[in-house]
Chains A and B, each alone.
Chain A
């Protein structure tokens, strides 16, 4: 009941959409009714287009994001842990971080073509730095008292890295990963819209170009929902991992 009241405005928007489309307040071409979009969605699921393209997209996003998390986190923690690495890498991070990542789309195409490889590379490159910076800031902020007390209890340097530095880096690193998650969807959809032969973005562009606007709306809403759901699920996981933090 409370949930209903909370999300009532979204329901109202949906109703407003349906009514506006039915009354043809805007051209049916520009705004198909919500029910028509729902029918198109079911069609797309039935003939498998949504599933195959969706699977391709999720594979790309998953691979790219996974790589960026593993490599980005390791890089950030080692940068905080070993000074020379920091001196070498931090100017590079500073230069590349503000670069609008979408500019890499044509570059990755030059390197790896139109297939999965270029999308995975794009997402990996685009998502790595937020993770690195999160891990670096978190690890750098690890409590001196904790480090010292671990030392005094006889923890070696590697042991300490694992027992003290990594856990302290966790909260900020997880925040960085959340940013990376959002970025991965943006880069995935952008690159598929612009240059691709499969995936959600390709399907959106294809349906739009062939005038199947109900279908285009259906795919757009699906992607939007997936992005939202991924963030929610991630937040739940994050809260569980950080339960020790109260």
Chain B
């Protein structure tokens, strides 16, 4: 990790104002720094504003209070330096796998031959060979998410924003995708912000886990989870189990609070 943080979030608050009903404070005074090529998980119960923070970082929502800068420049709108992967894939259903992956490259004006080569290398990277000409509706959930990941990796963002990317997958597929993400990340390191509510997933994937509290969303603690993840039995290793237990205890209070709803 270089000494200069790549992402600096300072004093960010965000309030949702629905056309009907009460305002909701999704985030309150959140500050966070993320280093180059660091893998950070944002962990918390639903409604803690972790996705909101990701959308602000992506430039999809306007920053109303506080500031977010990437590489020293304030965030103003979406840009290909920050690629996003959504829980429900957000693939273009009328485009084939190949055309989906190529879309970002087309927008950047990459020449056709170069583009085709790049798309093919990504198809191979995420293991979709043979499905290049399928439409998303013909793919399984796991394959859809591989396509979405390839589509985002294609335009080589320095930062990867992942919004519960494996939340819609079944348990086996999820585990497979986690392992693959980790191996892709180790081969081509990027800064990753990974939103999840799965403690084990967070500990397994991330260097650091930022535990968030609900309503209003704040960062409660940041736990260091950097250790060797490559061993086969990592899930049974004592230090892994301890970390999961430690973080689970932190999250449980918040989950109960969020369920009760009344507190706060």
Q: Do chains A and B touch in the complex (CB under 8 A)?
A: no
Chain A positions within 8 Å of B, measured between CB atoms, are none
Please report B residues at the A interface, Cβ cutoff 8 Å: none
